[in-house]
Amino acid sequence: MALEGAALHRTAWLFTRGDSSVTMSVSEDDSGIALTVLGPGAATATYRFTHKNALTAFTQAQEQKLLDEGFQLQAVAERRAGRGGPRPGGPERRRVRS
C-alpha cells in the first residue's frame, strides 16, 4: 500500500538489559511501513504493515514484552524528511542583499 502524501518517516527505540540490546526501527516510504527488530544477540526480524494502527498495536506489544523481560528503554529517535525538491526562494534565498 502506498502512503500517498506521507512524509518519509523513521523512528527507532533502543532497549538494554545488561550487555544485551534490542533495537526496534520503523521506516515508512511509498511502499508501506516496516518494523525491524535487531536483537537480542544475532536475532533479527522485519514485519511489514499496511495500516499505522496495526503497527502501533504491534510495536506497543513488543515494547511491553521487552519491559516484562527486564529490558529498559534507553533512547528514542525520530527523524522526518520532506519530499525533497527545491526550497522556496531557490538559490537566491541566501544571497546577501545590499
Q: What is the pLDDT of residues 64-91, one digit of tens each?
A: 999 999 999 999 887 655 444 444 555 5
Q: Which three cell numbers stand for residue 62?
A: 513488543
Q: Which of 64, 72, 61, 1 is nearest to 30 (CA)?
A: 1
Task: Enumerate the domain spans of the chain.
Answer: 8-76
**Strand 8-17 relative to strand 72-81, pairing:** antiparallel
**Strand 32-38 relative to strand 8-17, pairing:** unpaired
Give the pLDDT confidence of 1-44 residue by residue, as tens digits: 333 334 445 689 999 999 999 999 998 877 789 999 999 999 99
DSSP helix/strand/coil, 7:
coil
Classify domain 8-76 at the CATH topology level: q64v53_bacfr protein fold (2.20.140)
pLDDT at 92: 52
Q: CB of 26 within 8 A of CB of 10?
A: yes
Above 90 in pLDDT, residue 46? yes
Question: What global pTM score does this model have?
Answer: 0.68
